[in-house]
Amino acid sequence: MTDFLLELLCEEMPARMQVKASDDLARLFAEALAGAGLKAERIDSFVTPRRLALIARGLPLETAAVSEEHKGPRTSAPAQALEGFLRKTGLRQDQLEDRDGVWFAVVEKPGRATADVLAQAIPAIVRAFPWPKSMRWGTASQTTESLRWVRPLQGIVALLGDMIVDVEVDDIRSGNVTRGHRFHHPDPVTIAGPDAYVDALRGARVIADHHERMAIIAAKAGEAAAAHGLTLVEDKGLVAENAGLTEWPVPLLGDFDPDFLEVPPEVIQLTLRTNQKYFVLRDASGKLAPAFVCTANIEAIDGGAAIVAGNRKVLAARLSDARFFWEQDKKTPLAEHAKKLERITFHEKLGTVADKVERVAKLARWLVDEGIVTDKKSLPFRGGVGVGTVDDVDAVPASLASPTPGPSPEGEGSRLADLAEQAARLCKADLVTEMVGEFPELQGIMGGYYARAQGLPDAVADAIRDHYKPVGQGDDVPTAPVTVAVSLADKLDTITQFFAIDLPPTGSKDPFALRRSALGVMSLIQSNGLRFSIRSAIVRMIFFRVIAEAHAPYDAIAQQIKDAGDKLAPTELLEELARSFSKTGIAIIKQAKPELLDKSWVILQSILDFFADRLKVQQREAGVRHDLIDAVFALGGEDDLVRLLARVKALQAFVETAEGANLLAGYKRAANILKKEGASPSTSVIPAPSSVIPAQAGTQGASRDSGEDGEMGSRLRGNDGDVGDAAHLGYDAEPAEVALIAALEEAEPRAKSAIAAEDFAGAMAALASLRAPIDAFFETVTVKDPDPAKRTARLALLARMRDAVHGVADFSRIEG
């Protein structure tokens, strides 16, 4: 057993690639060993800006001998067959074995020297190394076939024990000599063997281990800060980056003019961190301190004084620029900046950012005007669905749980709408400021600062600052109403627009981050308990688009709508549009561009499917059982996310109780019998499993137009109106049969009104009362009675029970 050292020395590798490269090297090396039947006991990896290295511990000196057996032709086969077999195996006939009339060749393969295996494997690994970007260099690059590496490769150390493994890649020949630190020890360093590697480098001022350098940087930077009564803002990414830029890291503390602190702290932090790779510091009170820690790569002969002085100067120049931008940008009102958005393309097919802002402003205003986003205090429904528990939903009085909340009080609502529109019109203005040009990641944040500095209302400044939120999971979800309106409008617009030009996410590709936008929309709705139909908001966005494509100015259309009367019969989309706006408006569009309406309908469907899909993913990730999600989605007809999720939550709680489990068992038994008997599948379950919207026209409309007494209510009455009703039975019913009918009579209206009040736990409790009667029914009543009348009636009764359950969820989708 022995150890093997491999070091690949090159010019400075990008910091961000080093750790992955180190992992790749270990993996490729292990694979190459495995291919030759070798395995190291352990592989230790090292990486610095200039070297990738590994030490494979405990390698055998040679591979194991192998005996290979090849089956040949029958001994009776023609001579050509035997000759072919001898050629293939390279043996003579007297070396073959005759086993029961079949020739066998047994080839003894002796073990190979591990050094030979390595000498063969290493050039192959180097040539095929998976760098994200690689290059050619030097004389060898006369041809494009020359070796490619991330930066010029300068040397290879390959030592099996103390023996050099002879390797040559292009002009680079392996040896036992490397280089030390570029400045402290530029001379050759001879490595005696794998065990001597780390210490030999340390002697040459190189810390070979990435993690050790990280630890040194974190510790010494912290000490430097503490020595000045400051604390380091922890930043693991920056520690790793600095470890990737240094072989001998030396953190040094410097300060900057406190006057710069008048610039927003985010700007200072980005300047320090992104531009200069400095650590940020805080004082005892937690405020940004006018100081920084840089990480030098040398132990400077003057203790670092010149380095700190130089870095201070660079930082001062950068902060001067930042302060200049800050002061310049502030001088111009945001509304003036916003005018320049006409020059910025949002997407080549979607016009300018100014166009987007216009749409977002209208939608944000609409969200408030419709009472969807209201001032918190007057929110009609604040059940913490998605963040709270089922109990929150239970606690909501039925009278407040209206699916379409009315507009908020006139004055307050219109002021809120004004603020939302104002914020929306200004929310992208900072994109044309100098500061955001310099630091694109400060979009929104700078706009917020500029708005406040220019005396705009806090609600507007906050909305500009936060309207990109939530960015991904775990980010704060806005709750201030103006922010919610703008954020929601911005995201809905982005999703609708990209779907409208047929650029939805596909597979792993989501170049416009539409999935993230959808998640943002859902989080905003759930966290704020917003009660509205996503469908109607999207219809509205599509409506804007239809107008835009019809090349008709919005105001002109609006005027025509006012002038004309209602004349045309609406189609499906027309109906939707009409509900949101006016039938006349649709009529005018229909006359102008009828084909756009067909296209719009397809777009609407695909967006709603997309939301359904995202919601399922989100709920699954939140740990909700997928079968329960499916069971609720199978109902269709629901695009009020708050209500939909309340139902899922209640269902999850219910099926985990004994009552729920038993009801489910009873339900399944009934469903099985119905299935076996070929009873028609329930017609009340709408077969639109992947869609939040109903496949059946009018479902959504029905429940909305007539309030709570819509689809759900009629569903609970059963399919055929009078089946399963004891009074209509043409025979003497069994007691259990009568009891079940009575239980249904009692449970159905209770469940119905509970559902109407969005008290889904209550609805399920009502259904749970069916459990004992259904058990008794199965024990004492024969469904498959020879009498066709009894049989039909009993099947109808079971169907009625099933349908009652389906009022809450499609239990057939629930597992267990």
Partner 1 sequence: MAAQPAPLSFQDLILTLHAYWSRQGCVILQPYDMNVGAGTFHPATTLRALGPDAWNAAYVQPSRRPTDGRYGENPNRLQHYYQYQVIMKPSPPDLQDLYLGSLREIGIDPLLHDIRFVEDDWESPTLGAWGLGWEVWCDGMEVTQFTYFQQMGGYDCKPVAGELTYGLERLAMYIQGVDSVYDLRFNDAGVTYGDVFLENERQMSKWNFEIADTDKLFRWFKDAEAECQASIAADVPLAAFEQAILASHTFNLLQARGVISVQERASYMGRVRDMAKGSCAAWMQKNGWAA
CB of 236 to partner 1, least distance (A): 19
Judged by CB under 8 A, the chain residues 193 through 252 that form the site for partner 1 are 245-246
Instruction: Give yes or no for a contact between 319 and 265, defined as CB atoms under 8 angstroms apart.
Output: no
- Residue 490 in tokens: 């911005």
When computed from its CA atoms, the radius of gyration of the chain, rounded to whole angstroms, is: 37
Candidates 405, 409, 418; CA nearest to 485 is 418
- Residue 307 in tokens: 């380095």
What DSSP letter does each residue of 260-326 carry, written as one string?
A: GGGS-HHHHHHIIIIIT-PEEEE-TTSPEEEEEEEEESS--TTTTHHHHHHHHHHHHHHHHHHHHHH
**List 112, 136, 347, 669, residue binding partner 1 (CB under 8 A):** 136
CB of 340 to partner 1, least distance (A): 11
Query: For residue 109, what are the β-bridge partners?
Result: 66
In the block, tokens 């339900």 appear at: 667
**Residue 538 lies near partner 1 (rule: CB under 8 A):** no
**Residue 124 lies near partner 1 (rule: CB under 8 A):** no
Candidates 78, 75, 84, 126; CA nearest to 102 is 75
CB of 120 to partner 1, least distance (A): 26
**List 61, 65, 124, 135, residue binding partner 1 (CB under 8 A):** 135
Kindly tell me which of 64 and 305 has the beta carbon lying closer to partner 1: 305
CB of 150 to partner 1, least distance (A): 8
Candidates 711, 770, 778, 700; CA nearest to 741 is 770
Candidates 56, 2, 48, 1; CA nearest to 26 is 56
- Residue 278 in tokens: 């400095």
Judged by CB under 8 A, the chain residues 319 through 348 that form the site for partner 1 are 321, 324, 343-345
Judged by CB under 8 A, the chain residues 45 through 104 that form the site for partner 1 are 49
**List 302, 555, 595, 732, residue binding partner 1 (CB under 8 A):** 302
Judged by CB under 8 A, the chain residues 1 through 30 that form the site for partner 1 are 11-12, 14-16
CB of 144 to partner 1, least distance (A): 5
Report the distance separating Cα 718 and Cα 390, nearest Å.
Answer: 28
**Residue 187 lies near partner 1 (rule: CB under 8 A):** no
Kindly tell me which of 184 and 750 has the beta carbon lying closer to partner 1: 184
Report the distance separating Cα 811 and Cα 816, nearest Å.
Answer: 10
Instruction: Pick the stretch among 316-324, 376-384, 464-472, 667-675 that binds partner 1 (CB under 8 A).
Output: 316-324
- Residue 384 in tokens: 């913490």
CB of 138 to partner 1, least distance (A): 5
**List 79, 284, 301, 658, residue binding partner 1 (CB under 8 A):** 301
User: Residue 46: enclosing H or E segment and its boundaries?
Assistant: strand 42-48
**List 147, 315, 525, 646, residue binding partner 1 (CB under 8 A):** 315
- Contact string (CB under 8 A) for partner 1, positions 391-420, x = contact: ------------------------------
Report the distance separating Cα 355 and Cα 424, nearest Å.
Answer: 12
Instruction: Give yes or no for a contact between 357 and 337, defined as CB atoms under 8 angstroms apart.
Output: no
CB of 247 to partner 1, least distance (A): 11
Kindly tell me which of 284 and 301 has the beta carbon lying closer to partner 1: 301
CA torsion 783-784-786-790 (nearest 10°) is 30
Candidates 557, 554, 546; CA nearest to 500 is 546
Report the distance separating Cα 204 and Cα 227, nearest Å.
Answer: 29
- Residue 255 in tokens: 């300060």
Candidates 764, 766, 760, 712; CA nearest to 383 is 760
Kindly tell me which of 310 and 707 has the beta carbon lying closer to partner 1: 310
CB of 177 to partner 1, least distance (A): 15
User: Residue 549: enclosing H or E segment and its boundaries?
Assistant: helix 534-549
97-99: strand order across its sheet = 66-74, 102-109, 97-99
Kindly tell me which of 140 and 261 has the beta carbon lying closer to partner 1: 140
Kindly tell me which of 16 and 675 has the beta carbon lying closer to partner 1: 16
**Residue 294 lies near partner 1 (rule: CB under 8 A):** yes
SS3 626: helix
In this structure, are strands 153-160 and 172-175 parallel, antiparallel, or unpaired? parallel
Number of helical H runs and strand E runs in the chain? 31, 18
> CA-CA distances (angstroms) from residue 210 to 18, 193, 537?
9, 21, 52
Report the distance separating Cα 690 and Cα 699, nearest Å.
Answer: 16
**List 45, 48, 311, 496, residue binding partner 1 (CB under 8 A):** 311
CB of 267 to partner 1, least distance (A): 18
**List 138, 594, 721, 735, residue binding partner 1 (CB under 8 A):** 138
Instruction: Pick the stretch among 141-149, 476-484, 501-509, 639-647 that binds partner 1 (CB under 8 A).
Output: 141-149
CB of 581 to partner 1, least distance (A): 33
Candidates 461, 383, 295; CA nearest to 759 is 383
CB of 256 to partner 1, least distance (A): 12
Kindly tell me which of 313 and 339 has the beta carbon lying closer to partner 1: 313
Candidates 545, 101, 608, 171; CA nearest to 363 is 545
- Residue 140 in tokens: 């060898």
CB of 52 to partner 1, least distance (A): 16
CB of 183 to partner 1, least distance (A): 4
Report the distance separating Cα 131 and Cα 21, nearest Å.
Answer: 7
**List 60, 123, 152, 698, residue binding partner 1 (CB under 8 A):** 152
**Residue 300 lies near partner 1 (rule: CB under 8 A):** yes
Kindly tell me which of 144 and 506 has the beta carbon lying closer to partner 1: 144
Nearest 5°: phi and psi at 97? -110, 140
Instruction: Pick the stretch among 107-115, 317-325, 372-380, 687-695 that binds partner 1 (CB under 8 A).
Output: 317-325
CB of 443 to partner 1, least distance (A): 17
**List 314, 387, 501, 556, residue binding partner 1 (CB under 8 A):** 314
**List 313, 349, 675, 728, residue binding partner 1 (CB under 8 A):** 313
SS3 681: coil
CB of 129 to partner 1, least distance (A): 15
**List 57, 184, 593, 599, residue binding partner 1 (CB under 8 A):** 184
Report the distance separating Cα 303 and Cα 643, nearest Å.
Answer: 66
CB of 251 to partner 1, least distance (A): 12
Instruction: Pick the stretch among 53-61, 179-187, 389-397, 770-778 that binds partner 1 (CB under 8 A).
Output: 179-187
**Residue 750 lies near partner 1 (rule: CB under 8 A):** no
CB of 179 to partner 1, least distance (A): 11
SS3 294: strand
CB of 49 to partner 1, least distance (A): 7
**Residue 274 lies near partner 1 (rule: CB under 8 A):** no
Kindly tell me which of 245 and 797 has the beta carbon lying closer to partner 1: 245
How many residues lie near partner 1 (CB under 8 A)? Answer: 51
Candidates 350, 404, 705; CA nearest to 544 is 350
Query: For residue 473, what are the β-bridge partners?
Result: none
- Contact string (CB under 8 A) for partner 1, positions 153-172, x = contact: -x------------------
Contacts of 672 (CB under 8 A, 6+ apart): none
- Contact string (CB under 8 A) for partner 1, positions 558-597, x = contact: ----------------------------------------
Candidates 683, 552, 538, 559; CA nearest to 610 is 538
Instruction: Give yes or no for a contact between 305 and 275, defined as CB atoms under 8 angstroms apart.
Output: no
- Interface residues with partner 1 (CB under 8 A) are 11-12, 14-16, 49, 133-144, 150-152, 154, 182-184, 245-246, 276, 278, 294, 296-298, 300-302, 305-307, 309-311, 313-315, 317, 321, 324, 343-345
